[in-house]
Amino acid sequence: MIYQIALATGNSHKIQEIQNLLSKNLANASSFHVLSPGEAGVIKFAPQETGTTFSENARIKSELLFTMTDIPSLADDSGICVDALDGQPGVYSARFGGENLNDRERAELLLEKLNFSNNRKAKFVSVISFTTAEGTIQFEGRVEGEILKVYNESGQGFGYDPIFFYPPLNRCFSEITIEEKNKISHRSIALNKFIHYLAERTGPPVNLL
Ligand code: ITT
């Protein structure tokens, strides 16, 4: 079975990571055909992320795209939660410091705010939301790590990857490949739960709560 899925995101890094993970065939020989909003026929996808939780915002995105396309739609709402900042920036990670900052400036702002703290503990959280005519279902993933003391210039990644150190690999998220990230990340944990949910189902591809 081929599942056609529209991705309710404007973040090209997320599209890359999700495509990479979903492009592998499912155990039962099913596979995914993933469409960006543009490929699904949506010229401007601009959801209002007015929720105060990852779950609310993920739902807003997947339900809006499904309404616009009639194609089963998948959204990710995610962010970094820092212990010493009482879980901030959390759901506001993409807007931390205001809309005008770029990824690097946001990461450096976080480093500034943590300057005097010895507690560097943080976690990435992702909620994956999947909407069809039958409703919406959600899955969550988390990964724990530490905020570095300085921005890591080397490597790639996006968002807070260059300041998120992952002790089990002894590297930060910007220094690992997409394939490595997809074995351990918050987004991949949530997506794998979704894939298992689909793989375990018999009958129609989705029959949601
Ligand atoms: P969409 O809403 O269009 O999907 P977005 O980037 O605005 O894209 P979110 O509202 O979910 O997405 O905000 C997530 C932010 O959290 C993202 O912009 C990054 O700053 C950060 N983030 C989430 N996952 C990350 C990851 O794997 N690596 C680095 N930063 C991440």
Dist. CA 159 → ligand 1 center (Å): 7
Q: What is the CA radius of gyration of the chain?
A: 17
Query: Would you list the DSSP string of 143-193?
Result: EEEEE-SS---SS---TTGGGEEEGGGTEEGGGS-HHHHHHH-HHHHHHHH
The answer on pLDDT for 158 being more than 80 is yes
At residue 85 the predicted structure's pLDDT band, cuts being 50, 70 and 90, is: very high
Q: What is the pTM of this model?
A: 0.94
Task: Tell me: pLDDT of 203 over 80.
Answer: no
What per-residue confidence (pLDDT) applies to 26? Answer: 57
- CA torsion, ordered 170, 173, 127, 184, to nearest 10 deg: -40
The pLDDT value recorded for residue 208 is 41
Q: Ligand 1: which residue has its CA nearest to atom 20?
A: 159
Query: Residue 180 in contact with residue 186, Cβ under 8 Å?
Result: no
Q: What is the pLDDT of residues 117-157, one digit of tens each?
A: 999 999 999 999 999 999 999 999 999 999 999 999 988 88
| pLDDT score, position 199 | 79
At residue 53, the pLDDT reads: 98
Q: How far is the CA of 158 from the centre of ligand 1 (A)?
A: 8
- What residue's CA is closest to ligand 1, atom 18? 94
Res 95: pLDDT: 96
| Of 28, 64, 26, the residue nearest 45 (C-alpha) | 64
| Residue 155, ligand 1, Cβ within 6 A | no
CB of residue 181 inside a 6 A radius of ligand 1: no
pLDDT of residue 207: 37
Res 29: pLDDT: 54
